Amino acid sequence: MIVSIASGKGGTGKTLIATSIAASLDRVQLLDCDVEEPNAYLFFPNIEIIEKADCHVPVPVVDEAKCTHCGICSDFCAYHALAVLPSRVLVFPQLCHGCGGCTFACPEKAVSEMSREVGKIIRARSSGIELVWGELCLGEARTTPLIRAIKGMANGELTIVDCPPGTSCSMVESVIGSDFCLLVTEPTPFGLYDLDIALKALKKMHIPCGVLVNKSGIGDKKVYRYLEKRGIPLLMEIPMSRRIAELYSQGTIFVQEMPEWKERFQDLLNDIKGLVS
Amino acid sequence: MKQIAVVSGKGGTGKTSLVASLAALAQGRAVVADCDVDAPDLHLILRPEIKEKREFLGIKRAVIDSSKCTFCGSCEEHCRFKAIDDFVVDSLLCEGCAVCKLICPAEALSMVDRLSGYAYISETRFGPLVHADLFPGEEASGKLVAMVRELAREQATSRKLDLILIDGSPGIGCPVIASLTGVDIALVVTEPTVSAVHDLERILGLAEYFQVKAAVCINKYDLNPDVAHHIEEICSQRQIKIAGKLPFDQTVVKAMVLGEPVIKIGGPAAEGIRELWRALELCL
């Protein structure tokens, strides 16, 4: 079973929840798909790194000896990753989506592909937890190839996916293929507005979901009315707590210091299993 | 014309609450641009009156004409985004490259424009706001950010305003790069947590990569004074100015619920924001 942890708004507690679920179970895999800002591994001080690999994407190379500078490749490229000048072709690797279209479009067969590193994938272990995360190279705009590579490491058992914030392509790529998505929100106007967008994105993907309200007690009560009206299950609440916030700030998973919460996260997972089957 | 982009690396550090207050402090001399297009929240505080609405066409999507399709499977074989399955295009996975159209021997594929969101030019009680909605699950957020910034520049020019205040999105990827390039100052909002420090270093690295001058605001600095001190050390090593330090203050959420900038309510965070604004003005 794959359970993704997502939210429209940033900083609502996705990583807090993903790491707490992992730390409450004996055997689990945690995939951190926030490749722009991977944080989950910071909460596991004793991790043992098993492997580190580069993530590559294809990028065009033009053989100037064969190129007639006809411009067909740049006309075809939907991403403006090629510019054909009278005597040479410029390639902008960071704009390229790696579709391979230019290699097919070129009538002279002058375009081939080489691979380019866009980030790293790291697989590690901390007692019963297998942790996989990615680190996008600075200056890279596209996250999806690296997210796809991380998701390719899912081991077919219980996998928790920590997603990036937002509701656009990075979130979709991280969530797609999940059996269930747990949306984390906070009971504030910003939290509710972004939850609504995230729910609409999930609806398009036909993925069942439930909500966890973090920092309950702050803000207002509108999120509860919103969930009730739409029949969306409220699966858990975590109160606003200075102690939890302080433990988080030090990089400690709060269930390690407040073990009474472990059972609640185990119950949460059982509730999710019930909703999936 | 000067441009300030408020960014953070980590989400939820307080970018939008801060920008709302800076918009109020700018007192009509700034155009505000909400570039967090897939989770835009600034409008909840600035309460804009929309004056103009523009369509945003993101990337094109492939469509298969089933009456022409010979079911040869060539399109599915060549699509590197795995967007074609069983002779149907999954529009959430299609990246609009048009390889399928190029490959199809039966000319059954076409590329169609798709409405992916809207950009708005609005009036608020603190001056003009340019903002946008990217439809849930859409691509090309960077392209929409570029459109918002272009509209904001047009507004600033036509109204003779000399400042653009950009509310950015979290992360370091496509929409952040689109928000950051060419600005005069990237104001990075962080908080004293292990996660936020890690993310701060990545966003400062990104600013350096694009040769953008950065300044830092430590929000809720009193939550963990040791980590806050560590942030100050990092900034001092990188020769980056700490533009402000804001205390944890429950007024911030109260102001959000009321739909008002924190500085209109008062309290210790509001005081900190006023000082930060003065520091920013000196930076510019």
- The segment(s) of chain B belonging to CATH 3.40.50.300 are 2-57+119-283
Tokens of A30: 């945690």
- Flag whether residue A210 sits within 8 Å of chain B, measured between CB atoms: no
Contact between chains at A37 and B198 (C-beta distance less than 8 A): yes
Q: What is the SS3 assignment for A197-265?
A: HHHHHHHHHCCCEEEEEEEECECCCHHHHHHHHHCCCEEEEEECCHHHHHHHHHCCCHHHHCCHHHHHH
Q: Which of B10, B205, B210 sits opposite A10 (nearest CB)?
A: B10
- The segment(s) of chain B belonging to CATH 3.30.70.20 are 61-113
* Domain extent for A197: 2-55+118-276
What pLDDT sits at residue A81? 96
Shared domain for A45 and A69, answered yes or no, is: no
- Tell which of A9, A35, A36 to mutate to test the B interface (max B CBs under 10 Å): A36
- Tell which of B41, B85, B102 to mutate to test the A interface (max A CBs under 10 Å): B41
Phi-psi domain of B178 (left: phi exceeds 0; alpha: psi -120 through 50; beta: other)? alpha
Mode of pairing for the β-strands spanning A209-216 and B109-112 = unpaired
List pLDDT tens digits, range B36-47.
999 999 999 999
Indicate which CATH number applies to the domain containing A91. 3.30.70.20
In Å, how far is A46's CA from the nearest CA of chain B?
16
- Domain total in chain A: 2
**What residue in A sits closest to B103 (Cα-Cα)?**
A104
**What Cα–Cα distance (Å) separates residue B268 from each residue in A96, B219, B248, B271?**
47, 12, 8, 5
Q: How far from each other are the two terminal CA atoms of chain A, in whole angstroms?
A: 10
- Tell which of A169, A174, A207 to mutate to test the B interface (max B CBs under 10 Å): A169
What pLDDT sits at residue B283? 83
In Å, how far is B1's CA from the nearest CA of chain A?
25
Shared domain for A184 and A216, answered yes or no, is: yes
Shared domain for A22 and A81, answered yes or no, is: no
Helices (H), A26-123: 72-76, 101-105
Whether B265 has a pLDDT exceeding 80, the answer reads yes
Contact A56, A134 (CB under 8 A): no
Shared domain for A169 and A272, answered yes or no, is: yes
Shared domain for A148 and A243, answered yes or no, is: yes
Q: Measured between alpha carbons, how far is A265 from A255 in angstroms, rounded to an integer?
A: 9
Q: Measured between alpha carbons, how far is B119 from A223 in angstroms, rounded to an integer?
A: 27
- Flag whether residue B99 sits within 8 Å of chain A, measured between CB atoms: yes
Contact between chains at A76 and B44 (C-beta distance less than 8 A): no
Shared domain for A81 and A155, answered yes or no, is: no
Contact map slice: A 44-73 vs B, CB within 8 A? none
A126 bridge partner residues: A129
Average pLDDT over residues B162-172: 97
CATH number attached to the domain at B2-57+119-283: 3.40.50.300
Q: Measured between alpha carbons, how far is B268 from B252 in angstroms, rounded to an integer?
A: 10
CB pairs under 8 A between A and B: 190
Shared domain for A152 and A174, answered yes or no, is: yes
Chain A hits for B194, CB-CB cut-off 8 Å, are 39, 42-43, 249-251
What pLDDT sits at residue B139? 83
Contact between chains at A9 and B136 (C-beta distance less than 8 A): no
In Å, how far is B57's CA from the nearest CA of chain A?
13
Q: Which of B176, B198, B257 sits opposite A39 (nearest CB)?
A: B198
- Flag whether residue B102 sits within 8 Å of chain A, measured between CB atoms: yes
> Rounded mean pLDDT of chain B?
96
What pLDDT sits at residue A150? 98
- Flag whether residue B193 sits within 8 Å of chain A, measured between CB atoms: yes
- Residues with Cβ within 8 Å of A231's Cβ and at least 6 positions away in sequence, in order, are none
Sheet holding A48-62, edge to edge: A48-62, A111-126, A129-136, A28-32, A159-162, A2-6, A180-185, A209-216, A234-239
What pLDDT sits at residue B240? 97
In Å, how far is B74's CA from the nearest CA of chain A?
13
Q: What is the pLDDT along chain A (277 residues), one digit of tens a residue?
A: 999 999 999 999 999 999 999 999 989 999 999 999 999 999 998 999 999 999 999 999 999 999 999 999 999 999 999 999 999 999 999 899 999 999 999 999 999 999 999 999 999 999 999 999 999 999 999 999 999 999 999 999 999 999 999 999 999 999 999 999 999 999 999 999 999 999 999 999 999 999 999 999 999 999 999 999 999 999 999 999 999 999 999 999 999 999 999 999 999 999 999 999 8
Shared domain for A184 and A92, answered yes or no, is: no
**What residue in A sits closest to B200 (Cα-Cα)?**
A37
Question: In terms of residues, how long is chain A?
Answer: 277
Contact between chains at B78 and A104 (C-beta distance less than 8 A): yes
Shared domain for A102 and A192, answered yes or no, is: no
Whether B92 has a pLDDT exceeding 90, the answer reads no
- Residue B63 banded pLDDT, cuts 50, 70, 90: very high
Shared domain for A124 and A188, answered yes or no, is: yes
Shared domain for A205 and A99, answered yes or no, is: no
CATH number attached to the domain at B61-113: 3.30.70.20
Q: Measured between alpha carbons, how far is B177 from B190 in angstroms, rounded to an integer?
A: 18
**What residue in A sits closest to B61 (Cα-Cα)?**
A78
Indicate which CATH number applies to the domain containing A185. 3.40.50.300
Q: What percent of chain B lies above the pLDDT cut of 70? A: 100
Give residue for tokens 């928790």.
A160
Shared domain for A39 and A84, answered yes or no, is: no
List pLDDT tens digits, range B101-155.
999 999 999 999 999 999 999 999 999 999 999 999 888 789 999 999 999 999 9
